[in-house]
Structure 1
Amino acid sequence: MMPDPGAFRSRYGLGTACDGPIQAMRASIERLMDKATEP
């Protein structure tokens, strides 16, 4: 679904400072997907 943060970082040259926001965004997206798939 989402690209791996490490691969994303190496591809775009981002530092570890981006890990937090990326993981938070990923978690919120996963929560939204869970809600969307609930009956």
Structure 2
Amino acid sequence: MIFIRIKKLLGLFMQISSFLLLIYSKGIVANIEIYFESA
């Protein structure tokens, strides 16, 4: 019973972290584009 709960929490954590990583990487790409345009 506890193992199922941990598995669900782990899955949720993985989804959130991958989502944040996606946003973060898109932000880096946008910053690089802005940097090259201003340079």
TM-score tier after normalising by the smaller chain length:
0.5 to 0.7
Q: Which has the higher contact order (CA 8 A, sep 6+)?
A: 1
Aligned residue pair count: 26
How many percent identity over aligned positions?
A: 8
TM-score, scaled to structure 1: 0.56
Structure with greater helix share of residues = 2
Q: Which has the larger radius of gyration?
A: 2
Which TM-score applies when normalising by structure 2?
0.56
Which sections of structure 2, spanning at least 5 residues, go unmatched?
Answer: 34-39
Instruction: Could you tell me which runs of 5 or more consecutive residues in structure 1 were left unpaired when the two chains were aligned.
Output: 1-13
